[in-house]
Structure 1
Amino acid sequence: MDGGRTLMHDWQHLRVLLLDMDGVLWRGEQPLGDLPRLFQRIASLNLRVALVTNNATRTPAQYVAKLQRFGVTFPATHIFGSAQAAVAALQQRFPQGAGVYLIGEEGLARAVQEAGFRLTEGNAQAVVVALDRHLTYEKLRRATVLIRQGALFIGTNPDRTYPTPEGLVPGAGAILAAVEAATDTAPWVVGKPAPLLFQLAMGRLDVRPEETLVVGDRLETDILGGQQAGCATALVLSGVTSEAQAKAAEVQPDLIVPDLEHLLSWLETQRRHPGQHIAQ
Structure 2
Amino acid sequence: MYFIDVQGTLIDDIDRKPIKGAVEFVNSLKNSGIPFVLITNNTKYSTVDFMSYLRGLGFRFDDKEYLDPFATLKDFVDNKKIWAIGNDGFISALREFGYRFDTRNPDFLIMSLKEKLSYDEMAEAVELILGGAKLIGMHETAIYAKNGRKYPGLGAILRALEYATNTKARIVGKPSEDFYDEARKLLGADKYEDICIISDDVIGDLVGAKKLGMKTVLVLSGKYKSADEIIPFLPEGDRPCEIYGSIAEIKIQTNLLKVNRCRH
Q: TM-score range by the shorter chain?
A: 0.7 to 0.9
Q: 1:49 and 1:111, CA in 2 relative to 1: closer, same or farther beyond 3 A?
A: farther
Q: Deviations over 1:35-88 (max 9, x none)?
A: 332223223443122111223222221222221332223334432222333333
Larger Rg: 1
Q: Deviations over 1:138-178 (max 9, x none)?
A: 53333222111111111122223213463333432343245
- Matched residue of 1:207: which SS? coil
Q: Deviations over 1:213-241 (max 9, x none)?
A: 11111221211222233322212122224
Verify: 1:236 aligned to 2:219, yes or no: yes
CA distance in 2, matches of 1:82, 1:229: 19
Alignment map for 1:25-44 (pairs within 5 Å): 25-28=10-13, 29-44=16-31
CA distance in 2, matches of 1:178, 1:221: 16
Q: Which residue of 2 aligns with 1:253?
A: 240
Letter in 2 for 1:199: D
Verify: 1:144 aligned to 2:126, yes or no: yes
Q: CA deviation at 1:198?
A: 1.5
- Matched residue of 2:253: which SS? helix
Letter in 1 for 2:8: G
Alignment map for 1:1-280 (pairs within 5 Å): 16-28=1-13, 29-91=16-78, 96=79, 98-105=80-87, 106-107=89-90, 110-111=93-94, 114=97, 117-133=99-115, 135-164=117-146, 166-180=148-162, 182-208=164-190, 209-241=192-224, 242-244=226-228, 245-246=230-231, 249-250=234-235, 251-263=238-250, 265=251, 267=253, 274=258
Structure 2 gaps, min length 5: none
Q: CA deviation at 1:211?
A: 2.6
Which structure carries more relative contact order (alpha carbon 8 Å, separation 6+)?
Answer: 1
**Kept in 1: contact 2:200–2:218 (CA 8 A):** yes
Q: 1:276 and 1:133, CA in 2 relative to 1: closer, same or farther beyond 3 A?
A: closer
Q: Percent identity?
A: 23
Question: TM-score when scaled to structure 2?
Answer: 0.81
CA distance in 1, matches of 2:86, 2:246: 30
**Kept in 1: contact 2:4–2:199 (CA 8 A):** yes
Q: CA deviation at 1:261?
A: 1.4
**Kept in 2: contact 1:35–1:71 (CA 8 A):** no
CA distance in 2, matches of 1:111, 1:49: 27
Q: CA deviation at 1:102?
A: 0.6
Aligned length, in residue pairs: 252
Q: 1:74 and 1:111, CA in 2 relative to 1: closer, same or farther beyond 3 A?
A: farther
CA distance in 1, matches of 2:47, 2:41: 12
CA RMSD, Structure 1 to Structure 2 (Å):
2.9
**Kept in 1: contact 2:30–2:61 (CA 8 A):** no
Question: TM-score when scaled to structure 1?
Answer: 0.77
